Amino acid sequence: MSFVILLIGMLLLILLITWVKISPFLAFILVSILIGFSNGMDISTITNALQKGIGDLLGSIVVILGLGAMLGKLIADSGAAQKIATGLMEIFGRKYILWALLLTGFIIGIPLFYGTGFVLVVPLIITLSYRYNISAVYIGLPMLAAMSVTHGFLPPHPSPTVLVKQFNADLGLTLLYGMFVAVPTILVAGPLFALTLKKYTIKPLELFKGKDIPAEELPSMFYSVLTALLPVLLIGLNTVVTLITSSQNIFTKTCQVLGDPIVAMTITVLFATYSLGLKNGKKIKDLMHTMTDSIRDISIILLIVGGAGGLKQVLIEAGISEQIALLLRDINIPPLLAAWSIAAIIRVSLGSSTVAGLTTAGIVGPMIVTTGVDPNLMVLVTGAGSMMFSHVNDSGFWMFKEYFNMSIKDTLKTWSLMESLVSVMGLIAVLVVNYFIH
């Protein structure tokens, strides 16, 4: 009976968001209350579970998400992303423009939230398309594939960061494994898939051509790349040191401090304030205003994250999550495949990769305890499932269609297929990593 209640609850969640057009946060709260009542919970137990779930989850990740938003905004507004792109273009040249954009997408995709990154890089793609008379889809989709992978798989993006907490994973190991998963996924969904895209020669709208920041106002290439990758370097160093040595000395303790996610993000934001701002003559008041705007931009994401945490806690206290975990174990579905499948179904139904990942976490979380599956790989495979087949219920689908001036049919054959390749290749790569490390 609990399984039926969960299915009805998930269907209701989908209908409330897609048909009734209710805010995902409000939909999470309503569905949580109804599931609780359906399982015989009284109202005080339900509301206490909601408060606990929302508080526990936001309390553990809001600092990282907030600092991540600040860093992304600084990188975008300072012109660091433009500097990275133009610098790589100079290195790779016209012949390898696709690879330059691919590498740019990966570097700036790590700190930039996807929505911010999309509206930042697409005008650059369109500008280069007109300048070199090359198909915008051919050179642009691999760049967007790289950004999709970082958005779905790697912290400090919202969904992977929350999943690390939900699954009790290690953020450093998730980043490390994520790099091994990301590279083949990007190569297949990016350059390899791009070989089929040269026929799409429709010119994007000139309206969306980018306006370049004057070169003299841009930060240096060195500081731009270093700032974008600094949190990965700090967290990654700690993870590698922890893996190769168990001794405690000044060096390892220093790595532990610098590699703590909150410390690493704080250091990076402070460094970005100097390297991308003060060093280039910007005033501290203006930089702080930029950071304030960034928090405003992610407020709705924090609410959705909180709502998902509340639903998870209700499912746990109602005993549904444990029952689902036991059911999936009894019918012998590998936990990694189960997580990917559930996330993919919810993604196709709802359109939001973030909501898909967070909802899946509440359903499959207990499987980690009952099956002993690697929680770090569960983060990655859930993220992969949450990227499956973006279509007409996803805002990203429509942004791509309008920016690149494409028909719905061609958008399905390019954008939607690229997102599906990211999802399927992500699953395959996670299974390969799991085979070698376990």
DSSP 36-72: HHHTT--HHHHHHHHHHHHHHHHHHHHHHHHHHHHHH
pLDDT value at residue 105: 93
pLDDT value at residue 430: 98
pLDDT value at residue 332: 76
pLDDT digits (tens, 9 = 90+) for 394-407: 888 888 988 898 99
Q: Is 424 exposed, middle or buried (0-12, 13-18, 19+ CB in 10 A)?
A: buried
Q: Which one-letter DSSP state was computed for residue 197?
A: -
Helix ranges restricted to H, 245-298: 250-259, 261-272, 284-297
Residues 355 and 135: beta-carbon distance below 8 Å? no
Residues in the chain: 438
Residues of the chain under the 50 pLDDT cut:
none
Of the candidates 330, 421, 320, 410, the one whose C-alpha atom is nearest the C-alpha of residue 366 is 320
pLDDT value at residue 239: 87
pLDDT value at residue 275: 95
pLDDT value at residue 210: 60
Q: Which two tokens stand for residue 85?
A: 């792109």
pLDDT value at residue 186: 97
Of the candidates 145, 58, 52, 55, the one whose C-alpha atom is nearest the C-alpha of residue 99 is 145
Distance CA 68, CA 298 (A): 10
pLDDT value at residue 207: 64
pLDDT value at residue 301: 82
pLDDT value at residue 295: 83
Residues 336 and 431: beta-carbon distance below 8 Å? yes
